[in-house]
Amino acid sequence: MAGTVQCELCPTECVLENYQVGGCRTRINKDGTLYSLVYGKPCAVAVDPIEKKPFYHFLPATKAFSIATAGCVLGCKFCQNWQISQASPEDVDHQNLPPADVVRQAMFYGCRSITYTYTEPTVFYEYMVDTAQIARQFGVRNTMHSCGYINEKPLRKLAKLLDAADIDLKAFTEDFYSRICGGRLKPVLDALVVLRQENVWLEITNLVIPTLNDDPKKIREMCGWIVKNLGPDVPIHFSRFFPYYKLKDLPPTPFETLKDALKAAQDAGMRYAYIGNIRTEAENTYCHRCRKLLIERIGYHVQQINLTGGKCRSCGTAIPGVWS
Amino acid sequence: MKIKRREFLGFFLIGSLVSLVLNKLGLRRTERPKEALFWRRKV
């Protein structure tokens, strides 16, 4: 008699009857054993600038071999990759690419890192872990862009293999996570703390959506929490929203709103706050001590880097990040 | 072109031998479902 199983990977912790698939669409109970449906089957494979992830303090101006499979642990109404994140594996084209081949291709294309991204890497956890182990043996770094909706035990195991993580902190209210994403805020905050404790280089992305999460008070509160719990050196990217998926009725984020968010972060003591998805000077990195230009960016392109050995060329201050 | 019975048997034998050797060396790629990590059986 086939038994019921409970997935313990993400905080949803789906209970699955025989032949039932989890809410992420990627894990199935077959005769009392849980299997991954996406292992070695990426639906998106690309070579991207690391700045696209976005990582601004991690090996700037290098290439990241990026992979994703179908599925997601959340169901955000604003998802920019909903065609693959909200799809079942059998509904999207994929290629067969075992972990060793991912690393081989990454090295062939001259990528310094592999990024698990586009959808939610937690859903292809086993594939990511196996790939990351091989990558590490060959000196290729591992990074992920994730929503951080993952339980502590699997995250700690994964963190041992990760060099950097960019976590989407989508808002600072439980209401937003519940109504707009179908998840909870608390596990994401816990994941951020775990990543910090495990010494994974951490950056945070906050997509600012008009009327839904652009309350200046909540943004200030969020920045205060980051400084208190993660420190002032964690870079934050305030990203401009564009109408997608189920939120097509909202306008793109006004530039003024993003500037206010940037100021709130700086006022809270965050040393490295950026604006993304829009061309501005707030894409550049400035030394937190002497305010001189360290990295000039235009979109995903790096124009100049004024760092030597991870230090500001002007005043010699060590800049937080992974630079070599 | 007509294949003789002897030729057919020859190809069949060679194919089987190659398959056997690849299997023994573990070089043949077979699709096996990957068991997930982090789950438990409900009692």
Q: Residue A289's pLDDT is what?
A: 96
Residue located via tokens 């808002």: A171
Mean pLDDT of A266-286: 96
Instruction: Please report the pLDDT score of residue B18 as a whole number.
Output: 87
**The pLDDT of residue B29:** 61
Asked if the model's pLDDT at residue A18 lies above 90, the reply is yes
Strand partners, A276: A239
CB B37 within 8 A of CB B28: no
Q: For residue range A174-203, what is the model confidence (pLDDT) as tens digits?
A: 999 999 999 999 999 999 999 999 999 999
DSSP for A249-306?
Answer: TSPPPPHHHHHHHHHHHHHHT-S-EEEESS-SGGGSEE-TTT--EEEEEETTEEEEE-
Which of A4, A32, A154 lies closest to B37 in CB terms? A154
Domain boundaries, chain A: 38-283, 284-324
**pLDDT of A260 higher than 80:** yes
Mean pLDDT of A20-27: 98
First to last CA, chain B: 64
Min distance A24 CA to chain B CA atoms (Å):
13
Phi-psi region of A300 (alpha: psi -120 to 50; beta: other; left: phi over 0): alpha
For B42, which of A4, A40, A126 is closest by C-beta distance?
A: A4
For residue B16, pLDDT beyond 90: no
3-state secondary structure of A13: coil
Which residues in chain B have their CB less than 8 angstroms from residue A4's CB? 41-42
- Report how far residue A82's alpha carbon sits from residue A97's, in angstroms, rounded to the nearest whole number: 22
The residues in B 1-40 lying below 8 A from A, measured between CB atoms, are 33-40
* Mean pLDDT of all residues belonging to chain A: 97
Is A24 a residue whose pLDDT tops 60? yes
Q: Which residues of A touch B (CB under 8 A)?
A: 3-9, 15, 27, 30, 32-36, 39-40, 125-127, 129, 151, 153-154
Residue A120 to chain B, least CA–CA distance (Å): 16
- Indicate if ipTM > 0.90: yes
CATH topology for A38-283 is TIM Barrel (3.20.20)
